Structure 1
Amino acid sequence: MRRLLFLTIFTTIALLHVTCPVQAQEYPFEDYKLPFDKRVDDLVSRLTLEEKVFQMLNSAPAIPRLKIPAYDWWNETLHGVARTPFKVTVYPQAIAMAAMFDPAALATMADYSALEGRAIYNKAVSLGRTNERYLGLTYWTPNINIFRDPRWGRGQETYGEDPYLTATLGDAFVRGLQGNDPKYLKAAACAKHYAVHSGPEPLRHVFNADVSAFDLWDTYLPAFEKLVTKSEVAGVMCAYNAFQGQPCCGSDLLMTDILRKKWGFKGYVTSDCWAIDDFFKNHKTHKDAASASADAVFHGTDLDCGTDAYKALLTAVKNGIITEKDIDVSVKRLFMIRFRLGMFDPPSMVKYANTPITVLENSAHKAHALKMARASMVLLKNDSNTLPLKKNLKKLVVLGPNANNDISVLGNYNGTPSTITTVLQGIKDKLGNQTEVIFEQAISFASDTILHYRNLENQLSADGHQGFKAEYFKGIELQGAPFLTRFEKTINHNWQEGEQIGEGLAANHFSARFSTVFKALKSEEITFEVDGDDGYRLKVNGQKVLDAWSKNRWGAKTYKIPVSKDSTYKIEMEYWQGEGGAKIRFAGGTFGRTDFTELVARHRDADAFIFVGGISPQLEGEEMKVNVPGFNGGDRTSIMLPQAQTSLMKALKSSGKPVVFVMMTGSAIAIPWEAENIPAIVNAWYGGQSAGTAVADLLFGDYSPSGRLPVTFYKSDKDLKDFNDYNMENRTYRYFKGKPLFGFGYGLSYSTFNYHNFILPSNLKSGKGTSLSVRITNTGKMQSDEVAQLYVMHNNLKIKSAKKALKGYQRVSLAPGESKLVHFKLSPDELAYIDDKGTKRPLKGEITLSIGGSQPDEKLKTSGNIVTRKLIIN
């Protein structure tokens, strides 16, 4: 008992020691009764120049003489805490959350994510691991770039194409994440990527964006302005690309004139990771690291992420390029954030510092993930009330590359939950044993020739154990004795960076060797498939047959081998991983082309077909290398649905049975044939850990769909401008001159709604705001949410402006027959326009206001009428 008491006291002292470095208060910066600014000034005054410079790296080292612990600033929580070694709640991807049109739900998600992040950080403190990436409290989220072009692979991380929607959702996220404590931040949010940044991914390190003052202030800056001036976001991340000839992190206009002077931003700025190197390696605007680093600091970039370029600040000071006082400004901003997070105060003073690890994946968080997944899904088409399906079907055939794909539902910049529900599993869970549910992948995302996988477990053995002998090494060279040896039945790993492979071994900077013996059950040609990250080699009977050791892999590679019955084959796979998470998979089977006619004939007794296709974060995302037609570097070269998917759906339609297309995507996909011919289409995005449950709930009528598109779904590639052109003319619903396939704000319901009693003043004084209201009635037979959307249309053709612009929205829940009066407020800013010089000016003259379930000229059959009124502004 005395031993236990001693250990408890020792652990408590250790925890306090790491969280609040000095309890004896040797220096003023340790006195938590003093204001933060005085404590920061005192701390920084005690640092050497080298200590200051090293604190400006994302991996800031400890300062033992002042008992300041190490801290790594790099962390992410786009839709739940990302890349952490702990199991966490994973919510729908950001673009899906935008489709909810629900700031309150987004704020709750951010609050829950901050709680889980606090629990992880507190655990890291107790273990002395604050120096590790993805364990801190400074989250580089939200991404509030405008999704101006659907080909951008990172658009999935944004809140869509509209500045107003992006600003309001970003505001909700920041407030939810940072909390409402008057003294301490719950976590620190960071608005990124500032600014005028939205692809192409392959060019982001060299690209120079240039837009008019009108587009800059009308489209690209409003969300950043709101988060900086209203939401009080703690941080801003400057982008890789250049803007008007200067790297964004060294831009006179963006960083100095607007961010620091005009908006008065007092928080910290981090570079995007490796962006400082781009100054002299790619943009070629600076001759070396010293001049680049000094210029970035002059422009208010306080933290260098990903590189050690800022170490050259020591040289810059020595050579007189920059002074130590200039560096002090940045170091003080950085320490101010850490003080505001309570990192230098006793845990008893910081209410968040006692958040227990048990909050991870708690019931409220998981329930909210499911709620958000349901509310985000957009019903694009439902002819003849094909949906909801009946639950008493005898046979249901589920097909497609996303039907059982647990990677797609998680999106990118994600954490790892304990349980993931794919669409296939969600349907099986919903129907139980009463319906025969058949699954056939049938095609890949872009091809009808696929590897028909086989369960190889009973054909593999290693040292008397079923499966593989797995040997893991620290470092990437397979050197020395294995750090960890174990037996694994299969090789199918997808670790987040920092996640533990085994005790003491994180999923980065490691290597592994997997060995086994394959026994052929019959004579045939079998294909082995390997898919992995940084590098791998496959050997069969000692011969190297696949070699992707030098970062030339990206995508699965296959090796075909004829095997003889009862013969054995020694299989050895070697793998290494540097930065980032780790993915390695080994599979086997036989290649074959799917005969669509035969497939349909084989399932002629099916009651319905559900095809789950679209695209995947395996194809679109950040700076990727994907060898699939229609994709390039993480972006898309075409927004058309891959032809293989359309061909399969044509065959399914020929059966005469109901066909439902469940589409997963992080961006707009052109589906002209499907929109014309498939009776029911659901856009499910990347729906998070409960995506499959939510899809099944929608398909079988347990809730009514209510999501709305936060981006325009165009008809074809012909609707798109040059990807490199940042001019907003003919882009997004605000400026597009054509007719979209499905417009921004579009989304059907299982119920119907009527709008009436639109009340607003007949005239208004210029420069003032106003209030208005409308009554909404559920005229259908099902409880449902409706998203009421307020648009402003400028009737003065002499003013350059969007032809229509969202200026208000509300999600309303209504029972059948229920009515609610919904109120909107239009601020003076929302009744203003941007002139050619980028100046905001109050409107005058006649404008038109509309409220409905969609844009004013895209009436939905389930949202009934759209009410409009004219307003005279004097």
Structure 2
Amino acid sequence: MAPLTTFLPYLPLLALFTPTASCAGLVYPDCVSGPLKGNLVCNTSMSAVDRATALVAAMSNSDKLNNLVNNSPGFSKLGIAAYQWWNEALHGVAHNRGITWGGAFSAATQFPQAITTGAAFDDDLVEKIGAAIGTEARAFANNGRAHLDFWTPNVNPFRDPRWGRGHETPGEDAFRNGRYAAAFVRGMEGNGTTKRVIATCKHFAAYDLENSGSTTRFNFDAKVTMQDLAEYYLPPFEKCARDAHVGSIMCSYNAVNGIPACANAYLMDTILRGHWNWTGDNQYIVSDCDAVYYLGNANGGHRYKSSQTAAAGAAFEAGTDNICWATNGAAPDPSAAFSQKQFSQATLDKMMVRQYQGLIRAGMFDGPQGAYRNLGASDVNTANAKVLALQAAQEGIVLLKNDGVLPLTAPSGSGDASSTSLAMIGFWASKADEMLGGYSGTPPFNHDPVTAAKQLGFSVTAASGPIAQSSGDTSAATTAAKNAHTILYFGGIDNSVEKESNDRTNIAWPAGQLAQIKALAALNKPVIIIKMGTHVDDSPLLAMPNVRAILWAGYPGQDGGTAVMNVLLGRPAPAGRLPITMYPSSYTQDAPMTNMALRPSSNYPGRTYRWYDKAVFSFGHGLHYTNFSAVVGGASFPSTFSIASLLSSCAETTYLDRCPFPSLPVTVTNAGSDHTSDYVGLAFLTGSYGPAPFPRKTLAAYTRLFNLTAGQTQTSDLTWTLGNLARVDANGNRVLYPGNYTVLLDEPAIANLTFSLTGSEAVLDKWPQPK
């Protein structure tokens, strides 16, 4: 097991700690012979809200107040043991306070980080990963090594390329993040009456800054227009809450338009619980760790309230149900806040009912015969999970450049091996741990690229390289490369730089790595770059003739080395698409991190592919080892649609943005002669409809076609809704406008289709305004 300091997710907030009783794993309450015998909470025929209400009625106020924090001491008189609400599983069960490792639970499957899985554009894959993580998490909990709720997924859009936590997300596009979120939640929680575990969509909302000068996530006030809030920052949470009915939401550190998120009644009550009707029998809100501390009068915080008791009261009254406390400052004291009348008895009871509804829905009080109680050690690190982790890594790898040098030729096992001799250079080449990314646990194995290449029979000479800006000595790498046929360079930004609590100040290739690549390119051998991490400006590499190919792999997880080598060999061929815009390094001087606006102005370049037009590599870019042709639409797809008819034929009465739009057939042909390949079809909309300025284009649908052999044709029906066609006006209303709509397939486009919407504009979703 790696040292705990390698994985602590909230550095530098956390110090090392000694586990206590309040941090021990789950102990199921005894409904048969314990103190709960006869309590209605044990009656599985009742609704979760009625069971929770009965349980809370048996608690004293003192007990309730003590259990409003993440390390809840439990209720000894009722036989309910201590419970730790802080459990992590971003891309696999992870090291953190709520989880104890050891014995048969010394490892858990570590899937690729979300940014790599996001590049696969495969929602079925995401749902399977969620199910696998949820299964392993529940197995840990059943055996007293974790609890029932997990703070995942992170669905904040990756707005700025410097953000240290962007790799935790599926990417920059709000629509893509929303579909990823819904698929992950469905998989993790399951679709039965009992939840496998409770997922938590985070961080609500407009959180994408760690530190920018004197501005930190603890004091940042995100100034966001209603238009940008409704169009970009909140839609992933809408999918989580309104459509996927996630069990939990985490409120974020930052303020939004002057009010800290964890005390923001507009976000939590008006939007989340009101407009999105997130009021089922299992939903609760937890604060990010120390967020309530920093909304009070803490140095470096928002100073929104004059005392910590007032801060806790403001959070509770606004809708937060549980306070996570890390190690900074004084521990939260709900009892003091209650005695000072900072929040009411009704609020106290409501918070407790919400929390225990969630645990009831997760089967905490259902006894040993309850759903998912049979999951154990044999359900962790299964053969299927390992295959899925490898598949996810391979699907998410993106080919950015290739002049024909790829795919590589595999060793034949006999004869001259000179053509299959590799120099594998760079810090990442033999650093499997780094391929996991943040919020990781201990994997059952770590396969780095050097090990994978040797197992495939390549003759390998390896040498490390600099990590960050220091130039270092490149002689060892040059020596290693001289006798090799092909040079593979593994570089980019690693997780020691790109991490929570740390934003970068530039997005250029690290100077030391760039110097090493230049020296290798000067040897006049084919150089192939395998780029890890997220944003670095590839412009210098594109100008080097001997840099023949560039792959982007992000953080590919426990089998990342195998995945990279397989894709280099075309087993399988690459088909991933960039889930982020790759910006030039000058972007950091043109766009302050604290500017939340999306649309460009005279002295501001705008953000994301929808508004920015000078990318080094665009969102959605991804090459193949073959060529594809495509046809969009066809004779069965009409050229004109009546807005009134579309609405009158929809059975949806509350959220008209969910009304289906006729599916769009896309026919794709592998027009190459050699390579079988998947194909990701990205359908972008463009056109001059709705309010100006107009976005360059907007992702409206996507699909992944699998294993198209040379010459083969497949057809997929792209499913979308009226909301995917709508624009958002200045007040945040989602409006369907008449006009001509053009579908562009792929980046750059290889096929297109134009259709028209006629009639009067229609408001699909009227956005609530702050009071």
TM-score (norm 2): 0.85
- Letter of the structure 2 residue corresponding to residue 671 of structure 1: D
Structure 1 match to 2:583: 714
Residue number among 663, 687, 704 corresponding to 1:771 in the alignment = 663
Q: Unmatched 5+ residue regions in structure 2?
A: 1-25, 600-604, 647-660, 760-771
Query: Separation in 2 of the partners of 1:756 and 1:346?
Result: 55
Indicate whether 1:108 and 2:134 are aligned: no
> Measured at CA, do residues 196 and 262 of structure 1 come closer, stay the same or move farther in structure 2, by a change above 3 Å?
same
- Letter of the structure 2 residue corresponding to residue 606 of structure 1: A
SS of the residue 2:165 aligns to: helix
Structure 2 match to 1:296: 315
Structure 2 match to 1:406: 432
Aligned residue runs from structure 1 range 226-375, under 5 A: 226-266=239-279, 267-280=283-296, 281=298, 282-306=301-325, 312-348=333-369, 350-375=370-395
Query: Separation in 2 of the partners of 1:195 and 1:387?
Result: 43
> Measured at CA, do residues 138 and 17 of structure 1 come closer, stay the same or move farther in structure 2, by a change above 3 Å?
closer
Indicate whether 1:438 and 2:323 are aligned: no
SS of the residue 1:256 aligns to: helix
Residue number among 520, 532, 556 corresponding to 1:664 in the alignment = 532
SS of the residue 1:315 aligns to: helix
The question of whether the paired residues in 2 share the 8 Å contact of 1:408 and 1:664 is answered with no
Aligned residue runs from structure 1 range 122-521, under 5 A: 122-124=142-144, 135-181=146-192, 183-201=193-211, 203-266=216-279, 267-280=283-296, 281=298, 282-306=301-325, 312-348=333-369, 350-391=370-411, 393-394=417-418, 395-431=421-457, 435-449=458-472
Cα offset, 1:800, TM superposition: 4.2
Structure 1 match to 2:602: none
Deviates more, 1:75-84 or 1:98-107: 75-84
- Letter of the structure 2 residue corresponding to residue 93 of structure 1: Q
SS of the residue 2:487 aligns to: strand
Residue number among 723, 728, 748 corresponding to 2:598 in the alignment = 728
SS of the residue 1:446 aligns to: coil
The question of whether the paired residues in 1 share the 8 Å contact of 2:142 and 2:373 is answered with yes
Structure 1 match to 2:723: 829
Cα offset, 1:80, TM superposition: 1.1
Query: Separation in 2 of the partners of 1:138 and 1:231?
Result: 16
Query: Separation in 1 of the partners of 2:239 and 2:82?
Result: 33
Deviation by residue 1:829-872 (Cα, 9 ceiling, x = unmatched)? 112111111111112122211223x2xxx24xxxxx22232334
Residue number among 487, 493, 505 corresponding to 1:615 in the alignment = 493
Structure 1 match to 2:4: none
Residue number among 513, 518, 534 corresponding to 1:650 in the alignment = 518
Structure 1 match to 2:19: none
Query: Separation in 2 of the partners of 1:309 and 1:34?
Result: 40
> Measured at CA, do residues 21 and 248 of structure 1 come closer, stay the same or move farther in structure 2, by a change above 3 Å?
farther
Query: Separation in 2 of the partners of 1:290 and 1:445?
Result: 44
- Letter of the structure 2 residue corresponding to residue 762 of structure 1: S
Query: Separation in 1 of the partners of 2:466 and 2:275?
Result: 54
- Letter of the structure 2 residue corresponding to residue 186 of structure 1: R
Indicate whether 1:817 and 2:711 are aligned: yes
Query: Separation in 1 of the partners of 2:480 and 2:286?
Result: 58
Cα offset, 1:18, TM superposition: 5.1
> Measured at CA, do residues 33 and 735 of structure 1 come closer, stay the same or move farther in structure 2, by a change above 3 Å?
closer
> Measured at CA, do residues 252 and 23 of structure 1 come closer, stay the same or move farther in structure 2, by a change above 3 Å?
closer
SS of the residue 1:772 aligns to: strand
Deviation by residue 1:610-641 (Cα, 9 ceiling, x = unmatched)? 11111111111101xxxxxxxxxx21111110
Residue number among 680, 700, 718 corresponding to 2:569 in the alignment = 700
Cα offset, 1:684, TM superposition: 1.2
Query: Separation in 2 of the partners of 1:732 and 1:773?
Result: 31
Structure 2 match to 1:691: 560
Structure 2 match to 1:842: 736
Aligned Cα root-mean-square deviation (Å): 2.0
Query: Separation in 2 of the partners of 1:16 and 1:190?
Result: 21
Cα offset, 1:717, TM superposition: 2.4
Query: Separation in 1 of the partners of 2:229 and 2:33?
Result: 45
Greater per-residue strand proportion? 1
Structure 2 match to 1:8: none
Cα offset, 1:444, TM superposition: 3.3
> Measured at CA, do residues 283 and 601 of structure 1 come closer, stay the same or move farther in structure 2, by a change above 3 Å?
closer
Structure 2 match to 1:34: 46
Bigger Rg, which one: 1
The question of whether the paired residues in 2 share the 8 Å contact of 1:18 and 1:69 is answered with no
The question of whether the paired residues in 2 share the 8 Å contact of 1:25 and 1:31 is answered with no
Structure 1 match to 2:633: 758
Deviates more, 1:322-331 or 1:366-375: 322-331
Cα offset, 1:269, TM superposition: 0.2
Cα offset, 1:741, TM superposition: 1.1
Query: Separation in 1 of the partners of 2:148 and 2:67?
Result: 16
> Measured at CA, do residues 792 and 19 of structure 1 come closer, stay the same or move farther in structure 2, by a change above 3 Å?
farther
Q: Segments of 4+ in structure 1 off by > 6 A?
A: none
SS of the residue 1:219 aligns to: helix
> Measured at CA, do residues 788 and 16 of structure 1 come closer, stay the same or move farther in structure 2, by a change above 3 Å?
closer
Cα offset, 1:373, TM superposition: 0.6
> Measured at CA, do residues 326 and 745 of structure 1 come closer, stay the same or move farther in structure 2, by a change above 3 Å?
same
Cα offset, 1:445, TM superposition: 3.2
The question of whether the paired residues in 2 share the 8 Å contact of 1:795 and 1:848 is answered with no
The question of whether the paired residues in 1 share the 8 Å contact of 2:629 and 2:670 is answered with yes
> Measured at CA, do residues 201 and 56 of structure 1 come closer, stay the same or move farther in structure 2, by a change above 3 Å?
same
Deviation by residue 1:518-540 (Cα, 9 ceiling, x = unmatched)? xxxxxxxxxxxxxxxxxxxxxxx
The question of whether the paired residues in 1 share the 8 Å contact of 2:91 and 2:440 is answered with yes
Structure 1 match to 2:767: none
Structure 2 match to 1:52: 64
The question of whether the paired residues in 2 share the 8 Å contact of 1:22 and 1:30 is answered with no
